[in-house]
Structure formats: C-alpha cells, structure tokens
Amino acid sequence: MSTFRFIAIRILGAAVVLLVVAAITYALFMLLPTNPARAICDKPCTPDRLREVQAFLGTDKPWLAQFGAYLAGIFTGRTFGSGASVITCAAPCFGYSFQLHESVTELILSRLPVTASIAVGAAVLWLVAGVFGGTVSALRRGTFVDRAVMTVAVAGVSSPAYLIGLLGILLFGFVLGILPTSGYVAFADDPVGWFMHLILPWCVLAFISAAIYARLTRGEMLESMSQDFVRTARAKGLRERQVVVRHGLRTAILPVVTLFGLDLGSLLGGAVITEKVFSMQGLGALLIDAVHTLDLQVVVGFTLFSALLIVTANVIVDVVYAFVDPRVRRRA
C-alpha cells in the first residue's frame, strides 16, 4: 500500500489509543472517591464552599461533559470559574495546578530541558556503547573479550539505576570529589557546568541501558552472521569488514532501532528515578511532588503527556522501520 496510507493508518490507530488512555486516566483520577474539589478546598470546607469550588472546577457537571471539557481544553484552552476569580489555561491545556498556580503545560515546559538533557545525552551514549559492545562481542564470540563484555552487561542489567547512581555519587562525588553530586545547571547559564553536572547521570543511565543493548545486539549479530546471505557476501570476495557492516550489522540492527525508538518514548518513566537520585528538578520530581500533595491535575496532565510521547514514538518507530526494512512495506 502507499506510504501515505500506511502512515495515516498508524496515526489514526495512535489517536484511538491515546483517546482510550485519556479516558481511563481521567476516569480513574478525576472521578474516583478522592474528590479533586475537596483537595483544593480550604480548611474547614463548608458544604457551600465545596459547591462553589465544584462549580469553579466544573466537577458538578456530568462525567461526559467533564471529559469533553477536558479534551476540548487540550486544543482550545480552558477557563475555570467566571467573573472576578477566573483562571485561564492557554492551549494546549492539560490541566491547571491550583497548588502551584500554573498550568500543567507551563510546568512541563519549564522542567523539560532538565529531563531532556539527561535522557537524550544518555540515549546517544548508550546506543553507541551498546551496539559497539554487542557487535565486538558477537564477532569475538567465546573469547575473553566476549566473556568480559557479557559479564559486565549482565551485571549492568541487574543493577537498579538508583543503586549505580548512588554508588557513582559516592565514588566520584564524595570519595574522589571530582564531579558535582546533585543539581542541574542550565546550558544557557553555564555550558561547562551543565556538562559537568550531567556526566554522572549520563554514565549511570547509559551503563544500564548499554548493557541491555549490548546483549540484544550480540544476539542479533550472531543470528544474522550465521545466515546464508553472509556466506554469499563472502563468496563474492568482499572484505570481512564490508561483510560484517553492510550485510550482518545492517540486518541485525533493525530490532535494535525499534527498541531505541520505544525507549525514547518511555524516557519519562526512567527520568523519574534518575532525577530523585541526583536531586534534579526535572519532570520526575514534578510528578513525585504532585503525587505526594495529591495535585491530581498535574498527575493526570503528566500521565497524558507521557502517553502522548509513547504513542508518538511508537508511530515514528513503525514508520522508520518500514523505510529501513523493505520486507515490511510489502506486508503493509
């Protein structure tokens, strides 16, 4: 089928998934016993006051209307209340935090640079290290190099991020004292400081994911190098390096590419832990605080934003994969 149709169908599917996720999330958090109105009502909360708050929030309307208003808000912005005490939430409006007096979108955007710096930097590092390590292991299968890399990899896969992070802080921060142990410095303010503060988080995150990628790449390379077409490539008289890279790796890399795309999509989940370990005020910290203070608007908005990232990443991965692997195009 044509590429356009292929992409269109994927996007449509993604939109449906997002809608379902949004509905379930909204239902769970806004319509459950924990009454959002009660959460922002001052103490003591008189019944009159409660009714006022509900009207303000719009939670006195039927379920479907609430959800509809929420969805509409994402595209057109939303206003709470009326008259003197009106609060506007500009589009796209994922909710408004009454405790922090900012719209969820603004909150997310202000914290995004932190999380993005950590995630993207680490991602590049782990992709390169993992694929390289896995390939070398596969080509030198059974030798000391292979065993060493795989041992480190299995240790990496077994180590929780926070553990490695804390050990890293202990070693490089306190014992050796060469790296800062917490906090984030904006790139615009101080590029060197930005870099120094990120080295440890990058290495920590990359170590664990590189381990996963190394194991995966090794398995895929072993599989692909044992295929008939690799023998054909050799029989043509190609240099071994050409055979490995153009034929073996090119075929083996496909599942790795898929996984990378999906990992980028779920970076929000991984960020949460890293930020706590390194005491960085990123999106993860935002979520944890919101959970502890029961700021449900933030919780719901954050969840949806995260889902949006995941679903978008899935679509992109599908499309990229179709370009990269010609066999899929035919089946599609």
Tell me which residues in 285-314 interact with other proteins (CB under 8 A).
287-288, 291-292, 294, 296, 299, 302-303, 306-307, 309-311, 314
Instruction: Using the rule CB under 8 A, give the single segment among 53-61, 124-132, 166-174, 184-192 that binds other proteins.
Output: 166-174
Instruction: Using the rule CB under 8 A, give the single segment among 55-63, 66-74, 124-132, 153-161 that binds other proteins.
Output: 153-161
Q: Is 5 in the site for other proteins (CB under 8 A)?
A: no
Provide the token pair at 168: 């890293």
* DSSP collapsed to 3 states, 55-84: HHHCCCCCHHHHHHHHHHHHHHCEEECCHH
Among residue numbers 250 through 269, which ones bind other proteins (CB under 8 A)?
250-251, 254, 266, 268-269
- φ and ψ of 103, to 5 deg: -75, 155
Number of alpha carbons in the 13 Å side-chain half-sphere of residue 51: 2
3-state secondary structure of 25: helix
CA distance 32 to 95: 17
Q: Are 145 and 137 in contact (CB under 8 A)?
A: yes
CB neighbours of 8 closer than 8 A, spacing ≥ 6? Answer: none
Name the minimum Å distance from CB 197 to other proteins: 17
Q: Is 123 in the site for other proteins (CB under 8 A)?
A: no
Name the minimum Å distance from CB 190 to other proteins: 25
Number of alpha carbons in the 13 Å side-chain half-sphere of residue 168: 26
Among residue numbers 7 through 26, which ones bind other proteins (CB under 8 A)?
13, 16-18, 20-21, 25
Among residue numbers 173 through 232, which ones bind other proteins (CB under 8 A)?
174, 219, 222-223, 227-229, 231-232
What value, to the nearest 5°, has the Cα angle with vertex 249 and ends 248 and 255?
115
Q: Are 151 and 145 in contact (CB under 8 A)?
A: no
Name the minimum Å distance from CB 4 to other proteins: 20
Q: Is 143 in the site for other proteins (CB under 8 A)?
A: no
Q: Is 246 in the site for other proteins (CB under 8 A)?
A: yes
Judged by CB under 8 A, how many residues of this single chain contact other proteins?
77
52 or 146: CB nearest other proteins: 146
3-state secondary structure of 255: helix
Q: Is 159 in the site for other proteins (CB under 8 A)?
A: yes
Name the minimum Å distance from CB 66 to other proteins: 17
Name the minimum Å distance from CB 163 to other proteins: 5
Largest CA distance in the chain: 86
